[in-house]
Structures are given as structure tokens and as C-alpha cells.
Amino acid sequence: MISLPFVAFGVVFLVFFLMSFSQYDPAVSALGENATAEQLAAYRHEMGFDRSWGEQFLSYLGGLFQGNLGVYGVNKDSVSSRIATAFPITLQLTFIALIIAVVFSVIFGVLAALYRDTWVDQVIRVISIIAIATPSFWLGVLLIYLLQIKLALLPGAGELVPFSVDPGEYLARMAMPAFSLGFPVAGQMTRIIRTSMVEELDKDYVRTAIGAGVPKRVVIARNVFRNALITPVTVLGMKIGYLMGGAIITEIIFSLPGMGTALFEGINGNEPILVQGVVLVVALAFVIINIIVDMLYVLINPRIRTV
């Protein structure tokens, strides 16, 4: 929690510094190439682009302390309003991808541990390695080609209908981007769950319980599985930040109106204020999620609480 303000300051400074190297004039990007010199000068003065880099940076920091992320574009659109509509889409995509990763990794990870060193374990190992080595953006393009263009089974673009309006259409629209985002994480988590399960199955208490007559499935369900999930749950929490970062690229590929699309609009339109707002919110969300995961890990792990 102490690192949060330092991360926020570092992100704002880095984005400001990088955007200062842009060769495009934000005034021309907003008003167009046909705008007069007077109009361009008035826009730069109103937005503060005619001031020095240091003055712009301090002004933006002052606005952040007041909860103001600024405005952008010729219509002076609010960055906060743009993020308020985009961020929930990114969270939804991240959450669905997380569910896909959890379901696949738990099923295959447990099966690989229970049937270790058999053909089942070998097949799952190959699948998990393929998943780990598959970039989510490449998988997204492949899914669009196969499931939308060739087979016409799922939409890869178009309007995102809210879940409350049409659940079926919403899930169909989110299926490909969520799977392409969650598939690599599922491969990683499968290996971690398998390793944790194998370590628990080899412990003395498991052999003692089974030798005492307790059914093996009861020991696995009540003790082995629960104890083996401590490490995977912690790693999965860290993967949430990875999923959120990957969601930005996935949204661009599938034309989802989330933070990725907003970031692309800001970069493509040379809107530094919009870029700074999007990057800042994503970075802070990543840090906050990791802080919450660390706190939960301390709560669920008795070995840490007793230290």
C-alpha cells in the first residue's frame, strides 16, 4: 500500500516523458490540418500545450490530486467519463478469462497429478506447454479466422450488447477474446496445480490416512486439494494483473470498447491526456490487485500467520 503513490507518480512521469517525444501536434490532431494558425494557437493555449513540459506536468499532477484526469479532443471530452465506460469492459473480459483459466487448470491439473506419469499426464503436459507458448494476440487472430471467417460460429467484432439485455449474445461476443486471453494462463496454472497436488499426495499424512482406511477420494477432496491450492491461488492473483494487461491488446484485436481501445485512440489521435489517464488507471488497478492478493495470501496461509 505504501508503494501506491510512488507507482502512480512513476507512471505519470514516464508517460509524460515518452509522449513528449511525439512528433505530432495535439492541436492538429484535434482540429485537423485545415485549421488556421490562430485556431491552433488558441487550442494549444486553452489545453496548456504551449507551456513548458515541467509546467504541464505539475498542472496535471495538481488536477490528479483533485480527482480530475483532464479533457481531450476538440470537444473537450472528459477522460474520467471515457475511462468510466471503458474500464468495466476490461474488468468483465479479465473476469471471464480468469474463470476460463481456473476451470481448465483445475480440471487438467488435478487429472495430471492423479494420473501422473501415465498417458493422461503426458497429454495434459503437451497441451499445457502449447498453451504457455501461445501468444494471446496470435491465438485471437487465429480464432477470428477459424470461428468467424471460416465457420461463422462466433462474432469477432461488432457491438457489445450488455449481459442484462441479451446474455447469449453477450457471451458469444466475449467468448473468443476471453478464451484467447485465458488460454495461456490456463497452461501455466495447470503446471502449478499439478506440482502442488503431487507434492501433497507424497506427504506422510496422505499415506497414513489411506492406510487407516479413509477412502482415497475423501482424503484428496478434503485435505490434499485444499492444501494444494494455497500456492496456485497466490500465483493466480498475480496473473490477474497479467490478464488485465493482456486484455488491452485483446480488446484492440476484437474491437471491444475497453481500455485497450481507449489507449489506441489516444495514441493514434496523439491525445497525451487520454493516454496518461488510461495507463495510470490500469497501473494503479494492477498494484491494488496485487496488494489485495498479498493480504489474502497472508490470511489463508497459516504458516505465514504464525511467523
Q: How far apart are CA 116 and CA 224, in angstroms?
A: 15
- pLDDT, tens digit, 9 for 90 and up, residues 95-107: 899 899 999 999 9
269, burial (CB in 10 Å: exposed 0-12, middle 13-18, buried 19+)? middle
Cβ-proximal residues to 126 (8 Å cutoff; 6+ apart), any chain: none
132: which 3 cell numbers?
Answer: 504457455
Which range is most confident: 26-35, 162-171, 290-299? 162-171
Q: 206 — phi, psi (to 5°)?
A: -70, -50
- pLDDT, tens digit, 9 for 90 and up, residues 159-182: 888 888 888 888 998 999 999 999
220: which 3 cell numbers?
Answer: 484428496
Q: To the nearest whole number, what is the mean pLDDT of the chain?
A: 81
Percent of the chain at pLDDT > 70 equals: 90
User: What is the value of pTM for the model shown?
Assistant: 0.80
Q: Which helix (H) or strand (E) holds 71?
A: strand 71-72
Q: What is the mean pLDDT of residues 253-257?
A: 88
Question: With contact defined as beta carbons under 8 Å apart, do 256 and 160 qualify?
Answer: yes
Question: With contact defined as beta carbons under 8 Å apart, do 125 and 117 qualify?
Answer: no
Q: Is the pLDDT of residue 30 over 80?
A: no
Q: How far apart are CA 275 and CA 127, in angstroms?
A: 37
- Between residues 212 and 138, the one the model is more confident about: 138
Tell me, what's the pLDDT at 104?
92
What is the second-level CATH architecture of the domain 89-302? Orthogonal Bundle (1.10)
DSSP assignment, residue 78? E
What residue ranges do the domains of the chain occupy? 1-67, 89-302
Tell me, what's the pLDDT at 128?
92
Q: How far apart are CA 10 and CA 12, in angstroms?
A: 6
